């Protein structure tokens, strides 16, 4: 089955020149993708620059790639200094948006705000990639109630019809970034995927959740990427650091395309 690979560039790189260089090298890598779908999520300021490339990709039907953003504000327009709406992103050619990333939750973003952002993303025609995941695991399994609460609150009042457009990214905080405490195992992801599906089917019914994509993120690298997809049965990957390391990104794409 087709997997979705999301490249989260985070707040990198620092100049337009570097961003273009990274993007052009990335397009070469993406051009080799036949089976899967790639979503590149650069910082807001580079989106407009990349729009024209994605337009060409789409027209030539060459690349299975889309443009994504890393956040949005839940109002369409108005007196919201410094904010960017889903409608503005859609107009730029953006079709996906990462919401509720743990690095944003760390700065105070709540499930309620993520919920509002999901609704406005859907209204604007964007597919939300919702990040959830616990800080730490405990033997009493409290982390499962934490995940359940995140899923339920983020998806409050979302319709069954919209559910299909949503991607859930399980990103355990303890496995993210260069300060990760340890790496998650593929089987740990698989268990959580089953758990999330159960939470979702209790809320939306089994039929409605059968098609929802649940992907893995957190220290994905060339050596574990395939394992998360095969053994872990992840529907895709959300990649941070290794999506801006060209050699590693290339290697990841090569292994999953085989």
Angstrom distance (rounded) from CA 173 to CA 233 = 20
Out of 101, 183, 187, 231, the active site residue is 101
The residue among 134 and 171 lying less far from ligand PGA, judged by its C-beta, is 171
Q: How far is the CB of 232 from ligand PGA (least distance, A)?
A: 15
Establish whether 171 is a catalytic residue. Answer: yes
Instruction: Give the range of 30-38, 122-130, 224-232, 236-244 binding ligand PGA by CB under 6 A.
Output: 236-244
Residue of the chain from 241, 244, 248, 253 that contacts ligand PGA (CB under 6 A): 241
Q: How far is the CB of 146 from ligand PGA (least distance, A)?
A: 18
Taking CB under 6 A as the rule, which mask of x and - marks residues 160-199 in contact with ligand PGA?
A: -----------x----xx----------------------
Contact between 248 and ligand PGA per CB under 6 A: no
| Residues 139/142/147/149 CA torsion (nearest 10 deg) | 170
Residue of the chain from 67, 122, 166, 238 that contacts ligand PGA (CB under 6 A): 238
Establish whether 101 is a catalytic residue. Answer: yes
The residue among 175 and 209 lying less far from ligand PGA, judged by its C-beta, is 175
Instruction: Give the range of 19-27, 89-97, 143-151, 212-220 binding ligand PGA by CB under 6 A.
Output: 212-220
Residue of the chain from 128, 217, 232, 236 that contacts ligand PGA (CB under 6 A): 217
The residue among 196 and 244 lying less far from ligand PGA, judged by its C-beta, is 244
Q: How far is the CB of 106 from ligand PGA (least distance, A)?
A: 11
Active-site amino acid positions: 101, 171
């Amino acid at each position: 089955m087709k997997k979705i690979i999301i490249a989260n560039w985070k707040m990198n790189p620092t100049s337009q020149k570097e961003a273009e260089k990274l993007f052009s090298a990335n397009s070469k890598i993406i051009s080799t993708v036949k089976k899967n779908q790639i979503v590149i999520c650069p910082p807001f300021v580079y989106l407009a620059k990349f729009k024209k490339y994605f337009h060409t990709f789409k027209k030539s039907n060459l690349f299975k790639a889309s443009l994504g953003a890393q956040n949005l504000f839940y109002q369409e327009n108005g007196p919201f200094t410094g904010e960017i709406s889903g409608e503005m992103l859609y107009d730029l050619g953006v079709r996906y948006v990462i919401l509720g990333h743990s690095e944003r939750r760390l700065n105070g973003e709540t499930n309620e705000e993520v919920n509002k952002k999901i609704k406005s993303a859907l209204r604007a025609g964007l597919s939300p990639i919702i990040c959830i995941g616990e800080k730490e695991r405990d033997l009493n399994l409290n982390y499962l109630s934490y995940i359940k609460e995140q899923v339920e609150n983020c998806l409050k009042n979302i319709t069954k019809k919209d559910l299909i457009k949503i991607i859930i990214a399980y990103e355990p905080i303890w496995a993210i970034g260069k300060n990760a405490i340890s790496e998650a195992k593929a089987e740990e992801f698989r268990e959580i995927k089953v758990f999330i599906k159960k939470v979702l089917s209790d809320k939306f019914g089994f039929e409605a959740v059968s098609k929802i994509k649940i992907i893995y993120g957190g220290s994905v690298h060339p050596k574990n990427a395939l394992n998360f997809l095969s053994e872990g049965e992840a529907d895709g990957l959300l990649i941070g650091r290794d999506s801006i390391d060209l050699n590693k990104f290339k290697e990841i794409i090569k292994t999953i395309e085989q």
